[in-house]
Amino acid sequence: MTQEPAAGNNSHPGKAQTKHVNHALRELRKEIEKENFKSVALPKLVTGVGGLDWNEVKPLITEHLGDLNIPVIVYTEYKKDQQAEDGL
């Protein structure tokens, strides 16, 4: 939902665009509210293959999810074979 479609069957998706990230986060918020989530955890969205800078993406997450009355956890660092600290 955040990246342009792949050019062919064996190719990678295109780069992410902020308009797609905004749309995906709006849809995620609808699901969170509809399903009455108690918390939500996300990776650093679209900053790997998607190619966007975290400084551009983080404010979008804050804008769309920051005022929810549940914990919103963003895992910013991956360490192989190590459990993430979630702060809960």
- For residue 53, give the CATH number of its domain: 3.40.220.10
Q: What is the rounded distance in angstroms from the CA atom of residue 30 to the CA atom of residue 35?
A: 8
- The answer to whether position 48 is within a domain reads yes
Structural domain that includes position 43: 18-75
Tell me the two tokens of residue 36: 């009455």
* pLDDT at 28 (0 to 100): 97
- The answer to whether position 22 is within a domain reads yes
- The answer to whether position 7 is within a domain reads no
Of 52, 48, 28, 50, nearest to 40 (Cα)?
Answer: 28
- The answer to whether position 67 is within a domain reads yes
- The answer to whether position 6 is within a domain reads no
- The answer to whether position 12 is within a domain reads no
* pLDDT at 78 (0 to 100): 76
Tell me the two tokens of residue 73: 């956890």
Place of tokens 């849809």: 27
pLDDT tens per residue, range 39-66: 999 999 888 888 899 999 999 999 999 9
Q: What is the rounded distance in angstroms from the CA atom of residue 51 to the CA atom of residue 72?
A: 23
Tell me the two tokens of residue 57: 């993406």
Lowest mean pLDDT among 26-30, 36-40, 74-78: 74-78
Count: domains in the chain: 1
- pTM (two decimals): 0.81
- The answer to whether position 80 is within a domain reads no
pLDDT exceeds cutoff 80 at 11: no
pLDDT exceeds cutoff 60 at 3: yes
